[in-house]
């Protein structure tokens, strides 16, 4: 099964994608996580991506598409994957479409996790991230067992550099201009599914499982 998660930054794509990956035994692929891992390791790719991410802008398509195509060509993607944060532009979606068609395959579902902007700003200010294992928490909605420490791997939790309020506003602008058009794109392909991302995260997941079967 090949699944794309759509939605504004902070809508809960990652939270849901991790659960989908566990239940359906497919890899969870987050381009944001790949960039953050590269930033942590100090690679050239990471340094370039950071210059855009810190401003709340999208990383250029050329760079992003390359890392995504590399990742989905790995063996563990043979039975599918759940993409979180890719595609974010129409050209990215076209490249993915072409790559999948060349394998005589298709994307099964594009799930749009719908959350309005005011709600997003509240969520992002409480998000805490583990840069070691990729786990995500929220200081009110999903607190870790021990404050500031990842339940899964014991690393220290951080506020992402791009979760500052001003950067979140820039990210929302980029979302509306460049990513939101993908909702129509996948609707026209007949694979768009909408879920209400403002519900409790377990209820959002139950709605997704209803769709995926
Ligand atoms: P995205 O991957 O779309 O950027 P995340 O999955 O990281 O979003 O979620 C953003 C923040 O909102 C996190 O702090 C997460 O714990 C919290 N969150 C996710 N889903 C919900 C939900 N249904 N209700 C409340 N908070 C949520
Ligand atoms: P995320 O972790 O999905 O919220 O992504 C964090 C940041 O990484 C985004 O604000 C972008 O700067 C960059 N990024 C992640 N995925 C993409 C993508 N598909 N295209 C362009 N930039 C991306």
Per residue in 96-140, pLDDT tens? Answer: 999 999 999 999 999 999 999 989 998 999 999 999 999 999 999
Average pLDDT estimate for 47-70: 97
Residue with the two structure tokens 């500031």: 148
99/89 Cα distance (integer angstroms): 16
Is residue 18 in contact with ligand 1, taking CB distance under 6 Å? no
pLDDT value at position 122?
87
Residue with the two structure tokens 């043979």: 78
Percentage of the chain surpassing pLDDT 70?
Answer: 100
CA of 11 to the centre of ligand 1 (A): 6
CA of 43 to the centre of ligand 2 (A): 17
pLDDT digits (tens, 9 = 90+) for 16-41: 999 999 999 999 999 999 999 999 99
Work out the angle between the directed axes of helices 31-41 and 44-53 (0-180°, nearest 10): 120
Residue 59: alpha-carbon gap to chain centroid:
14
13 is catalytic: yes
User: How much is the mean pLDDT over the chain?
Assistant: 96
88 is catalytic: yes
Q: Output the residue whose Cα is nearest ligand 2's atom 8.
A: 32
Percentage of the chain surpassing pLDDT 90?
Answer: 97
CA of 10 to the centre of ligand 1 (A): 5
pLDDT value at position 6?
98
Residue 142 per-residue DSSP state: B
Residue with the two structure tokens 């506003």: 169
């Amino acid at each position: 099964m090949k699944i794309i998660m759509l939605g504004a930054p902070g809508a809960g794509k990652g939270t849901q994608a991790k659960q989908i990956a566990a239940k359906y035994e497919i890899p969870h692929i987050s381009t944001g996580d790949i960039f953050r891992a590269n930033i942590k390791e100090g690679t050239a790719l990471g340094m370039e991506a950071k210059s855009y991410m810190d401003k709340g802008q999208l990383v250029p398509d050329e760079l992003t598409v390359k890392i995504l195509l590399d990742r989905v060509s790995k063996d563990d993607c043979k039975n599918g994957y759940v993409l979180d944060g890719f595609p974010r532009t129409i050209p990215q979606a076209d490249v993915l479409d072409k790559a999948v068609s060349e394998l005589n395959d298709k994307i099964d579902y594009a799930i749009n996790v719908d959350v309005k902007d005011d709600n997003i700003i509240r969520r992002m200010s409480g998000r805490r991230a583990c840069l070691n294992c990729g786990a995500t928490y929220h200081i009110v909605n999903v607190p870790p067992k021990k404050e500031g420490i990842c339940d899964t791997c014991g690393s220290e939790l951080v506020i992402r550099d791009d979760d500052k309020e001003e950067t979140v506003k820039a990210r929302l602008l980029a979302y509306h201009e460049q990513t939101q058009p993908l909702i129509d794109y996948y609707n026209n392909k007949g694979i768009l599914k909408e879920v209400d991302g403002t519900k409790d995260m377990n209820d959002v997941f139950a709605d997704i499982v209803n769709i995926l079967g």
